[in-house]
Structure 1
Amino acid sequence: MLLWYDARKGLWQEGIMKTPFFDGKLVHSRRVIYTPSPFARSNLIHLQEVGSLQARQPHTSTRKGLASYLFFWVESGSGVLEYEGAWHELHAGDCVFLDCQRPYQHHTGDDLWQLHWVHFYGPNMAAIYKKYQERGGLPCFRAADPGGYAALLDELYALAESDTYVRDMQIYEKLIALLTLLMEESWHPDTARAPGSKKQNLQEIKDYLDTHYTEKITLDALAERFYINKFYLTRVFKEQFGQSVTNYLVQLRITQSKRLLRFTDRSIEAVAQECGLNDANYFSRLFKKVEGTTPGEYRRQW
C-alpha cells in the first residue's frame, strides 16, 4: 500500500493516491507523475506527467536540460514565458509547446493564472519537434479552440489514473492526437515573410503537378509556364506546402508506381515511364531510396 498526505484533510492516508493534490503557498495543483512501461519508454511517445495548477502568488518557474517536451494552455489569468532568448506574454486561451532541453522560465502575472499541462517524451520526439518548427510551429500561439486541448489533457489525466492493461497504448494515442492538433493549428507558413510583403499562392502549381506528374517536369519548365522565378517558386512552394517541388513530385510518382506494381503486371520499365521517369535504373534507385526496397522486391512483398 501507498502512504500519502492529503493536504485538504491534513491527514496521512493509506491507499492509492487517485487525485494527488498539492496545496502550497505559491500554487494549488493536481498532477499524476507517470512511469511508463519499459516497452513504452523505448518505443512509444510516452507520458511523464499531466496536471493542472492554480497560482496563489506571483512566482517564477525555471528549468533546463530536461529530457521532456512540455505542452500547456492558459485557462485563465496571464503570465510571461522566456524561451530561446525571447519573451512572450500569455493570456487565457494561449498555448505553449517547448523542448525542455532548452532553458525556459515562466512567471504568473498579478491576475494569477490557471494552467493545464502535460510533459511527455519519446525516441522520435526530437525529429517531430524539428518538423513542427520547420512548418512554422511557434513556441506560443493563440488556440482557435482551446476546448480541443482541454479535452485531450483531461483524457490523458484519466488514463494516467486508470489501471487498464492497454494504458500505455491509449496514452500514446492521445499524445499523437495532441501532436496532430499542434501541427494543424500551428501551421504558419507566413511567419518568414517580410512585413508588408504578399506572396503568390502556388495552389495552381500544386494542382498542375497533381495531374501532370506522369510527364517530364523541370523547375525551369514550371517557372516558364507559370511566369514565376524558379528560385522564388522553390522557396515559396516549400513554405506553403511543407516540402520542396522536387520532393512533392517524387512523392506523387512513387505513390503511383506502387499502385502500378501492386495492381498491374506492367514491367518495371513500363512503370517507370508511366510515372514520368524514363530511366528504369534511375527509377529503381529512387524507389529504393524512398521505400527501402527495390520495385521488384516491393511487388513480391505485396
Structure 2
Amino acid sequence: MMDICQLNFSLPVQAINAGLFVSSGKGTHPDRVFPYFDLIYVRSGVLDIQEAEKAFHVAAGETLLLWPERRHFGTKIYPADLSYFWLHFLIRETPESAGRQSCDVAQHASVSRPDQLAEAFRRFLDDQESGSLEQMTADLLVTLILREAARSHEATGAARHSSISAANRANAYIIAHFHEPITVAEVAEKVGCNPNYLARIFREAYGKTMTDAVHDCRLAYARRLLIEGYQNVDEIARECGFADGGYFRRLFKRAHAMTPLAFRNLYARVHVNSA
C-alpha cells in the first residue's frame, strides 16, 4: 500500500465565485450591498465606482477591494473598452488566526505583477467553468490572489508622488504603445532622460529590462486575444506588435511552456458577464 501524506489545515479565506466582466459600452455598475468582499482587478479601461461616501477612479492595472455590507454603485457609464476580473470571498475569523502572518491589502492599489495576478484569476475561472474547482483549491487561489494584491503599491498617497518618476512614466508609455515598434531610445526620448540612466532605474523599479516589459505587455495582450478573440496566431502576433510570427511563437513558448494554440485550447473556458 502506498504511503499517504495527509495535510489538515484551514485557510483564513473562503472563496465564493469569480468572473470576468467585459463592457458593451452601456449601463453603469449596479447599486448594491454584498455580504462578502468583492475584489476588482481592472485589465483595460477605467471603472468609476463609489463605496459609501468614497469615490474611486480605478484604471487599468489597478485593484479595488469593496467591503461587505457597504453600499457601492457606479458613478459613470461603462466605457466600451472596460474589462475587469471580479472575485467574491469571505474572511474566516477563527481563534487560531492569532499569531499568524498578516496579508495587508490596500483598498485601491496599483498592481506590481499584473501577469501573475491575471494568471491566478484565469486558473480560478478555468477550474470554475470546468466544474473541477474544489473548495480547498478555490480558497488557495483566493489566498494567492490576495497575496499578489498585497504586493501592490497604494494608488493614493505616497504612490501618487512616485508616479512622477521617470521609471513610472516609461512604464506607462510602454503600456500605451507596446503594440507599436518601440525602442529604449524612443521611450527615453519621450520621458526626457538619458537611455542608459532610464534603463538602470527602470530595472531597479520593476526588476526587468524595458525590452522585457514590452514583451510582457505584448504577451499579456496576446493571451487575451487567444482566449477571447477569433484571429489566427499570425494575426494576433501582428496586432500585439510582433512583425515576425515565428519569433512570437518562440517567445510565447519560452514564457508559457506551450504554443499559442495549446494555450488557447487550455484556457478557452472563461466565466464572462457583460453589460
TM band (smaller chain): 0.3 to 0.5
Instruction: Give the number of the structure with larger relative contact order, counting CA–CA contacts within 8 Å between residues 6 or more apart.
Output: 2
TM-score normalised over the length of structure 1: 0.41
Q: Which has the higher strand share?
A: 1
Rg larger in structure: 1
